[in-house]
Structure 1
Amino acid sequence: MKKIMDEQLIYEILSVVEEIPEGKVATYGQIASLIGRDKNARLVGKVLSQAEFYGRYPCHRVVNHAGRLAPGWQEQRFLLLEEGVSFKDANHVDMKENHWDC
């Protein structure tokens, strides 16, 4: 049985994250879909939670489908604000304005 989280999968996810333009956000599900794993949004989140072991990636540009920031990651909002991302409220990105249309 193939391991769910192998190096190739990690590379695919981080490669997509690297392509998200400054000032835009993508969703976990969107990234999963782009790598051909439509139902693996949580797996994308797991990989991103460990991304620092693989280098520097703009993981702060990834939010959930409703635009909610990652729980417990205080710096994410600050990093997005620095890039000009607008918010609906304190914890939700304005997806209509900032969603990455890839």
Structure 2
Amino acid sequence: MSHRGGRPGFVRVEGNRLTIPDFSGNRYFNTLGNFVRLPRAALLFIDFAGGDLLHLDGTVTIDWQPPPGYAGAQRLWSVDVRSGWRCRGAFGLRGTVGEMSPATLGTGCWP
């Protein structure tokens, strides 16, 4: 499991496709290396305020040269969603967003 977060709204949704920017990290490329070998992903989105969980899975493609408009992203990866489920109130911990980490603040904002 690898957290691949950014500022709120960093995941773009177009139909069945989610596009996620890839930021500079530990430079091990574990996630991308796994996608190159086996292009499948499962994503878990947690609503910390309400406790809802959204699980999606699908096929991955990598864009090694992202188009302009993704400040801070070194590449993009997309998931063509095949299936998913939502479970309301399943996550027992609740919280609100406090201060963002400096790493997150350096990831940029997208319209």
TM-score, normalised by the number of residues in structure 2: 0.29
By percentage of residues, which structure has more strand? Answer: 2
Instruction: From the two aligned structures, give the one with the greater helix fraction.
Output: 1
Please identify the structure whose Cα radius of gyration is greater: 2
TM-score under structure 1 normalisation? 0.30
